[in-house]
Structures are given as structure tokens and as C-alpha cells.
Structure 1
């Protein structure tokens, strides 16, 4: 099973993991690493490395980041570039995290990456768009 490490600015990571676990239950091989004010990027990198080591059972790791180009993304990318079966996803939201955590047992890191990007795009909508579709399904 893929390990998951969630990271982002402030308390994004712990907040997202807490919300996801409220909906889908407790997750194994999954850690949240926050990047609050006052810690250095070196400290963040060290914490991400430790989390990856704790979550990787040999199947790989996906690092879910909040913002493309931010320090958490850059540090996660530095780790992923040195490892096989590591992927980095930016723009992570609850839709991506919840759906993909439920599917991770059956996916490789590359398959997870591709499915997460599709999931994220499909999950961004509005009530108006949902009600305007031909297959109008109001069973939210």
C-alpha cells in the first residue's frame, strides 16, 4: 500500500488529515507535516524525510502538498527526485485526499498521481454547474 505524507503551510496538513479521517476513518501509513511560521525549510525537509521513512513499506510514497511552488512543495519535490516510486501532488484539497486515500491500496504511485489530478479537476464545480448538467442529479 502506498504511504501518504500531507504537507502545507500553517496547519494545513494536520487540519486536512483530521477532516479526512472524520469522514473516512483513521489512516495507516499516513502522516501530516505542517509548515508553521518559525521553522526553517531544513527542519521541514527533515520532518518530511522522517515521515516518508515511517510511511514507506516499499510500495512508494505520495506527498500531497497545498501549493505549487511553495516551500512544502519544493522540499517534497527534492525528496521525490531522489527516490523511486515517489510522487508529489500540489493543489491538494479534501476531495483529492479523501477519494485517493480510499483507492491507494490498488494503485502504483504513478497511477495515484494521474488519478489524483483527474479527481481534483472533477471535484471543482459549483452548485449551478451541478444543477445545469443534463444528468441533473440533486442527490447531494
Structure 2
């Protein structure tokens, strides 16, 4: 079973996980790491690397925003571990993406889960004016 790691500035990742668990229930294989003000960046990177290395069947990393410190850190780890660990990094994390990850991580490979999560994230953005 692949794993899922949520990364964000502030407590967004933690709260998305908590909200998802409230809706879906507890799921093994999903975790989060928050980048808080004053966090030592070397320690932050070590935490992420540790989670990645504890995922021999692969890991999907969902990140809040492209170009931010969580994304840059995940990208660096991704580049350093290409060919060693099945890993994917996706930005723009939202609640539909996390719920889809929780529902599907036991049944999909990292690449399948990545595609499914991206699709659900985009489909979760709805303009009410266009639906009425």
C-alpha cells in the first residue's frame, strides 16, 4: 500500500487531515507535516525525508502551493530519490483531493492515485452559477 503525505504552510495540512478524518474516518497510511513559523528548515526536510524513506511501496505528497517552501523541500527530496522510491508530488491540495487519497490509497499505485487525486481536486472546484 502506498502512503500519502500532506505538506503545507501553517496548520493547513493538519486541519485538512483532521477534517477529512471527520468526514471519512481514520485511515492508515496518511500523515501530515506542517511548516510553522520559526521551524528549522533542515529539521523540516529531515522529517519529510524520514516519512518518504518509511514508504517502500511509494508515497504521494500533496502540497498546498507551487513554489513555496513545502513544495521546494518536497521537490528536492523527489529529485534526490528518483529511481529509489516511487514518489509523486502534487500541489494545489484541497479537501476533495485528500478525501480521494483516503478512499483510494489502499487500491492504487502512486501514479494511479496521483491521477485520481488531481482529477478529484479539479472536479471539486464548482461555480454555482454554472450549475444552476
Q: TM-score, normalised to structure 2's length?
A: 0.90
Displacement of 1:122:
1.1
**Structure with more contact order per residue of length (Cα contacts < 8 Å, sep ≥ 6):** 2
Q: Confirm whether residue 119 of structure 1 aligns to residue 117 of structure 2.
A: no
The one-character-per-residue Cα deviations of 1:82-120 (angstroms, maximum 9, x if unpaired) are 143100010000011102220112211111112222111
Task: Measure, in 1, the Cα distance between the counterparts of 2:58 and 2:28.
Answer: 14
Task: Measure, in 2, the Cα distance between the counterparts of 1:98 and 1:116.
Answer: 9
Q: Which residue matches 1:45?
A: 45
Displacement of 1:41:
2.1
Displacement of 1:17:
0.6
Displacement of 1:34:
0.2
Q: Which residue matches 1:138?
A: none
Q: Which residue matches 2:62?
A: 64
Please give the secondary structure, in 1, of the residue aligned with 2:106. helix
Contact 2:14-2:34 at 8 Å conserved across structures: yes
Q: How many residues align?
A: 129
Task: Measure, in 1, the Cα distance between the counterparts of 2:4 and 2:51.
Answer: 9
Structure showing greater radius of gyration is 1
Please give the secondary structure, in 2, of the residue aligned with 1:32. strand
